[in-house]
Amino acid sequence: MVQSFDRSQGRVGVAAAAAPASEATFTGNRGLQIEEPLIFELGQSGRCGVDLPEPPKVKDRLNGLRRTGEIGLPGLSEPQVVQHYTRLSQKNYAIDMGVYSLGSCTMKHNPRLNEKVARLPGIGDLHPLQPVSTVQGALEVIDSLAHWLKTLTGMPAVAMSPAAGAHGEMCGMMAVAAALEAKGERGQRKVVLAPESAHGTNPATAAALGFTVKPIPANERGRVDLLALKAALGPANGSEVAAIMLTNPNTCGLFENDIIEIAQAVHAAGAYFYCDGANFNAIVGRVRPGDLGVDCMHINLHKTFSTPHGGGGPGAGPVVLSAALASHAPYPWIVRDGEGWRIAEEGREIAGTPIGRLKAFHGQMGMFTRALAYIMSHGADGLRQASADAVLSANYVMASLKDVMSPAFDGPCMHEALFDDSFLKDTGVSTLDFAKAMIDEGYHPMTMYFPLVVHGALLIEPTESQAKEDLDLFIAALRSLAERAKGGQSADAFKAAPRFAPRRRLDETLAARKPVLRWRPSNRPPEDDPLKQAAE
């Protein structure tokens, strides 16, 4: 007999032992696990899903640039295309399927109301080069969202154009660099302090802008070591520090209790305080970063305000700025004149020394619309409730697992529960093995091996979206895996995981050392390569 999860009742039940999976089938499929070829391998010459008239012959000026060979696109019917991508979708795990516990990512539900609003003709059909007089509603959306972001953070200015969180980090640190330049201190202040418990992109952003990154260790409570920080800001080194880049709550899932004292020490040294807003969902509506002494902070709309993560895009990472940095924000800005709005794009229209334009056009309109719909549908009270529920869910997971897994730090957490791998000691099972076994249980693994301050870290962020019954099933799966690993079961079962996935363990070392960056269909000869033709 084996345990199973009865989803209809939300409890752990008992079912007959499943029959062992066959080593192979005639098709290579296993039930609904379809062994799906690439779309290029499905295509057949001469097959087409649409019948179009021949284009008229026109005289062009392409000369030798005209393509002479076939473009190499696969030939398929419409049903084949639909079936192919539907089968591919069945290989994915998604927010819409269940608990997506990826720590530090805030994989919350994307409300369908937001999607409906973003697809309204007056929003979804806009073109960024339309006359300003025809997009007044869109500009009002951007301005309204900007007002909400400033209100929720307690900051006087916001830059809306950054295209993602990391882009927002760069924007904020460029504003810091511009402020230092205006004071004649850019050449002197070249060091950025980055706590070990901060978000992983912070050091990369600082380095990309030419700063030297100095790590600040975490203390035994998982928070910034205040003595080490003050030493880095002391008379011997403080004049070299440009800023600190700190995440709060931090990536250990803990609130930095000394945050105000940290801000005071940073400002006393003449530096700026950059706060990474990756975990703003844990405190939105309850804590305003501006009240803590923060000078700039990016906001991940796809985390706190439920816009889609989108596989790397579309993103939006607005940056709120203090009065000390507001004049260095990039343009464009949305300006209200009388009864309407306009776009301020020239430096001469904006007081101070803005850092210029960071991207084409005016920001990610679809994401702005979704975020504003989320904020307005929740209201201030709803946002406060969402942050409370996110913290409650994480602490429920922590309390339910602490007797079989090993919490990294004592006490309650904020939005995410962090465990180390000490509960797996002497079992032969690694963090990676444990996470791979979660796939067989029907769950996407949590974040592994991050933050680096914890050995073999397992970082779980359930968000506020999950019902208690779903969390109970998730917790039951993790408890079963932990008890199985600690109960003397052979580690080979974990190292063989995942057994029930379209792909099993990949050779990550080979992939890193010999990456295949381009794929060519076996039925296309090299001379028909369109890139080769274009190069010639």
pLDDT digits (tens, 9 = 90+) for 93-102: 889 999 999 9
At 449-477, the pLDDT tens digits run: 999 999 999 999 999 999 999 999 999 99
**Mean pLDDT, residues 438-448 taken together:** 95
User: What is the predicted pLDDT for the residue at 268?
Assistant: 96
Whole-number Å distance between alpha carbons of 212 and 402: 39
Q: Is the confidence at residue 273, as pLDDT, over 90? A: yes
Q: What is the pLDDT of residue 507?
A: 87
> What is the pLDDT at residue 159?
95
**Is the CATH code 3.40.250.10 the one for domain 378-513?**
no
Band (47; pLDDT cuts 50, 70, 90)? confident
pLDDT tens digits along 346-366: 655 666 677 888 988 888 999
Q: Where are the domains of the chain?
A: 116-375, 378-513
pLDDT for position 59: 83
Residue 305, both tokens? 């305000």
Counting every residue written for the chain, the total comes to: 536
In the predicted model, is pLDDT for residue 110 greater than 70?
A: yes
Sorting pLDDT into bands at 50, 70 and 90, what band is 50? confident
How far is residue 259's CA from residue 85's CA, in Å, rounded to a whole number? 48
pLDDT band at 17, cuts 50/70/90?
very low
Average pLDDT over residues 43-52: 85
pTM over 0.85: yes
Kindly state the percentage of the chain with pLDDT values over 70: 89
Looking at every residue in the chain, the average pLDDT score rounds to 88
CA dist 43 to 33, 48, 78, 82, 522, Å? Answer: 21, 9, 12, 13, 12
Residue with tokens 């596989």: 311
Indicate if 378-513 has the same CATH topology as 116-375: no
Percent of the chain residues topping a pLDDT of 90: 67
Pick the CATH number of 116-375 from 3.40.50.300, 3.40.640.10, 3.30.70.20, 3.30.390.30: 3.40.640.10
Half-sphere exposure of 302 (CA within 13 A, CB side): 21
DSSP 243-298: EEEEESS-TTS---TTHHHHHHHHHHTT-EEEEEETTGGGTTTT--GGGGT-SEEE
